[in-house]
Amino acid sequence: MRKVIVDKPGGFHRLRIDTVKDLEPGPGQVVVRTEAIGVNYADCIVRMGLYQSAKDFVGWPITPGFEFAGTVLSTGPGASLWSPGQRVFGVTRFSGYATQVCVDERQLFALPDAFDMAQAATFPVVFLTAYYALFELANIQRPVPNSDSDSPRRNQSTNILVHSAAGGVGGALLQLGKLAGCRMVGVVGRSSKVESARTFGADEVIDKSRENLWRGARCYAPDGYDIVLDANGAETLAKSYEHLGSPGKLVVYGFHSMLPRDTGKPNYLKLAVDFLRTPRFNPLDLTNDNKSVLAFNLSYLFHRHEILQEAMDSLLAWAAAGKLQAPPVQTFPFDRVADAHRTIESGATVGKLALLP
């Protein structure tokens, strides 16, 4: 098998491909021959040596990659959910950039008829992130899968602001929020992304390249937002909190603005400055403001198979009913993994990227 290896933190040149021994499944595990591999911005952070869960679970050298799709090659003792030849997709805590992936059988899902391999490989991370943020943390009421009834009434007065609305997670958040009946306001950084945000479900779009973000945000929700979803970090967190209504919830799932665009290497001075700029939320202030700040990292949830299964069951039911669309996918040959990283770090992408072994 072949896999991408990062021996130590650094730029794009740290991504090398090596040939190693084929994988053997352990008890309860399944080996999948990958046919498409999702590329996420988090993979770039792993390569730079700044992703905490990579340090907690793996260390160096490391193979990035959280999601994949392919065909079952073999199963280990006690694994009974899958058989060789079945087409599947799934999640893995790292090691996804490889022609073979070995995971717990409960981290796999049957390939939907409506998805090709690239769509399936880029579906789980963004949609599981969006699902957990909206339905578990922000606690909006879930629509009932396989139901033609209206969206939950409780959500119909809910105003939600989504940063980076044309990206993978942003697009998934817009789709799920709209499906749940919420009023969705998306934020994009380029005029070329406005139409994509609208396609994903944004009722209103704020184009930061043409208007003041916060003036636009106030215009669309004068009394503040019920929920703001923010993966930017120091650049927007304080203002996102300020633009919450009462009660309001700020959900944090990333710190992208602290990291480089194009260079591939972190600017440690900027990191230090942005660390100091990142707001610290005092519990007394939260109580008096009647607001909440919630945060999570999906890579710390992969062992919670019951959460993954419950979320994916709903997501796939909505997708099968035509209520969700897979994100648009730009593909790269496996050998061009560095080009994929350059592209996603540019900030110009819409939807998702995938590697094709």
- Tens of pLDDT along the chain (357 residues) come to 999 999 999 999 999 999 999 999 999 999 999 999 999 999 999 999 999 999 999 999 999 999 999 999 999 999 999 999 999 999 999 999 999 999 999 999 999 988 999 999 999 999 999 999 999 999 999 887 766 655 777 787 899 999 999 989 999 999 999 999 999 999 999 999 999 999 999 999 999 999 999 999 999 999 999 999 999 999 999 999 999 999 999 999 999 888 777 678 888 888 899 899 999 999 999 999 999 999 999 999 988 999 999 999 999 999 999 999 888 899 999 999 999 999 999 877 888 999 999
Q: What Rg value do the Cα atoms of the chain yield, rounded?
A: 20
pLDDT of the residue at 317: 94
Domains of the chain: 2-123+326-356 (3.90.180.10), 127-298 (3.40.50.720)
pLDDT (0 to 100) of residue 149: 57
Amino acid at 129: T
Supply 129's token pair: 């992130």
Q: How would you class 32 by CB atoms within 10 Å of its CB: exposed for 0-12, middle for 13-18, buried for 19 or more?
A: buried
Residues 6+ apart with CB under 8 A from 37: 65, 67, 68, 69, 96, 97, 98, 121, 334, 354, 355, 356, 357
The Cβ of residue 278 has, within 10 Å, a number of other Cβ atoms equal to 15
Q: What is the pLDDT of residue 266?
A: 81
What is the per-residue pLDDT for 219?
Answer: 95
Residue 292 confidence (pLDDT): 97
| Nearest one of 254, 303, 252 to 91, comparing CA atoms | 303
Residue 253 CB partners (closer than 8 Å, separation 6+): 129, 133, 169, 229, 230, 231, 295, 296, 297, 298
311 token code pair:
């979320």
Looking at the DSSP assignment, which residues form a beta bridge with residue 353?
A: 39, 330
What's the pTM value of the predicted model, to 2 decimals? 0.93
